[in-house]
């Protein structure tokens, strides 16, 4: 198991110079399109060892439920949480949510966690505190062995990779491209601010570099960036929460985690596309196709230029709108 393309010395790809590089760029474009159809606006984190949270998780309309074996579980409860997570996987997915498990970082615990939770019905693994591409490739191989044992096609389970240290931020590009399983990256500021010896703030200025790097690296790799700009720990202040999520969407994020069910409707709403965005995308495509039929690759709409990149972006928006509609339909069927 390894990276999905080979980088050149600059750590970037080019459509020029070789047929191999051209194929790599085409594959990356396919990943970008696939990333637009991944709908994970909201991921509700649930301690796997707390039955009352697990039992109601499927009713929260979260796009994903993350059974946590890591930070939300004390050391003396790790084994119990591991056993309970396996039983909870089909339960929390009943409402149409993707089912994720956040495993522990220490190797011995990670292996035990994977042994317990890799099964049919699991969507993916959230691997905390990732710091190198080598960790990701080893994890990829460990998951593949367990998929094979469970009778699951190799490559089925996805990876979400939170970067939570200065080392991880430095290695972000190689981390993001180390495995075809990877679908998302997140900046975990809590551990980074601890490392820097500073306090997280509500406005989140200390998160800016890490967040910006995640967005750009994710775009480079053809995956999603998840997160938020502020650091609103007070989940009772939902107005402040909504404001930081609106900013996060404009910044380039496609979703974020939640620690309380009250945050889920806001995440789903703010990371969705409104009717004005969808309608404009449709008009862009119609206008562009009319221009194209006349042998032109650019035109205007509402006083703005419409060209090839604009039309491509509009098609991706409609692709995402369709995917979101399917996810919302799945939630409604609970």
Query: What CA–CA distance (Å, rounded) separates 315 from 308?
Result: 11
According to the model, what pLDDT value does residue 248 have?
A: 94
The residue written with tokens 């309380």 in the block is 260
End-to-end CA distance of the chain: 37
Query: What CA–CA distance (Å, rounded) separates 252 from 228?
Result: 10
- Which of the two residues, 324 and 198, has the higher pLDDT score? 324
Contact 3/181 with Cβ under 8 angstroms? no
Q: Is the four-CA dihedral 292, 295, 296, 300 of positive or negative sign?
A: negative
Of 85-99, 155-169, 228-242, 286-300, the one with minimum mean pLDDT is 228-242
Indicate if the pLDDT at residue 76 is higher than 80: yes
pLDDT digits (tens, 9 = 90+) for 135-152: 999 999 999 999 999 999
According to the model, what pLDDT value does residue 31 have?
A: 74
E strands, 154-241, are 158-163, 182-187, 224-226
According to the model, what pLDDT value does residue 233 have?
A: 59
Of residues 63, 30, 34, the one with CA closest to residue 224: 34
According to the model, what pLDDT value does residue 236 have?
A: 76
According to the model, what pLDDT value does residue 239 have?
A: 86
Mean pLDDT to the nearest integer, 292-317: 93
Indicate if the pLDDT at residue 228 is higher than 60: yes
Mean pLDDT to the nearest integer, 61-81: 95
According to the model, what pLDDT value does residue 226 have?
A: 97
According to the model, what pLDDT value does residue 16 have?
A: 55
Contact 327/39 with Cβ under 8 angstroms? yes
Contact 35/320 with Cβ under 8 angstroms? no
Please state which CATH number belongs to domain 19-270: 3.20.20.60
Could you tell me whether strands 98-102 and 224-226 are parallel, antiparallel, or unpaired per DSSP bridges? unpaired
Indicate if the pLDDT at residue 102 is higher than 50: yes
Query: What CA–CA distance (Å, rounded) separates 98 from 65?
Result: 6
Residue 122 sits at φ, ψ, to 5 deg, of -85, 135
pLDDT digits (tens, 9 = 90+) for 260-269: 999 999 999 9
Could you tell me whether strands 304-306 and 299-301 are parallel, antiparallel, or unpaired per DSSP bridges? antiparallel
Percent of the chain with pLDDT over 90: 75
According to the model, what pLDDT value does residue 176 have?
A: 96
Per-residue confidence band for 3, with pLDDT thresholds at 50, 70 and 90: very low
pLDDT digits (tens, 9 = 90+) for 204-220: 788 899 999 999 999 99
pLDDT digits (tens, 9 = 90+) for 19-68: 555 555 555 667 777 788 899 999 999 999 999 999 999 999 999 999 99
pLDDT digits (tens, 9 = 90+) for 166-194: 999 999 999 999 999 999 999 988 888 88
According to the model, what pLDDT value does residue 1 have?
A: 41
Mean pLDDT of the residues in the chain:
89
Per-residue confidence band for 10, with pLDDT thresholds at 50, 70 and 90: very low
Indicate if the pLDDT at residue 112 is higher than 70: yes
């Amino acid at each position: 198991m390894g990276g999905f393309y080979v980088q050149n010395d600059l750590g970037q790809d080019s459509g020029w110079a070789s047929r191999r590089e051209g194929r790599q760029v085409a594959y990356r474009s396919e990943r970008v399109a696939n990333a637009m159809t991944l709908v994970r606006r909201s991921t509700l984190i649930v301690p796997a060892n707390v039955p009352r949270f697990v039992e109601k998780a499927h009713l929260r309309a979260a796009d994903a439920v993350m059974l946590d074996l890591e930070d939300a579980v004390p050391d003396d409860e790790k084994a119990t949480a591991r056993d309970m997570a396996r039983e909870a996987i089909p339960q929390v997915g009943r409402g149409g949510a993707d089912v994720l498990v956040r495993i522990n970082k220490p190797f011995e615990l990670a292996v035990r966690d994977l042994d317990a939770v890799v099964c049919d019905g699991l969507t993916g693994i959230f691997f905390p505190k990732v710091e190198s591409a080598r960790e990701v490739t080893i994890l990829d191989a460990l998951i593949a062995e367990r998929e094979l044992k469970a009778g699951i096609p190799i490559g089925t389970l996805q990876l979400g990779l939170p970067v939570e240290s200065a080392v991880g931020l430095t290695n972000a590009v190689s981390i993001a491209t180390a495995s075809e399983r990877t679908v998302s990256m997140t900046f975990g500021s809590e551990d980074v601010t601890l490392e820097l010896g500073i306090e997280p703030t509500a406005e989140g200025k200390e998160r800016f570099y890490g967040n910006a790097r995640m967005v750009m690296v994710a775009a480079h790799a053809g995956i999603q960036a998840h997160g938020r700009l502020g650091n609103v720990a007070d989940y009772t202040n939902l107005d402040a929460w909504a404001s930081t999520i609106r900013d996060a969407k404009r910044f380039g994020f496609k979703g974020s985690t939640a620690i309380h069910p009250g945050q889920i409707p806001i995440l789903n709403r703010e990371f969705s596309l409104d009717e004005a965005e969808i309608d404009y995308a449709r008009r862009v495509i119609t206008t562009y196709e009319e221009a194209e039929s006349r042998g032109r690759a650019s035109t205007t709409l509402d006083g703005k230029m419409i060209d090839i990149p604009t039309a491509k972006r509009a098609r991706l928006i409609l692709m995402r709108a369709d995917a979101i509609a399917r996810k919302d339909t799945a939630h409604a069927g609970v």
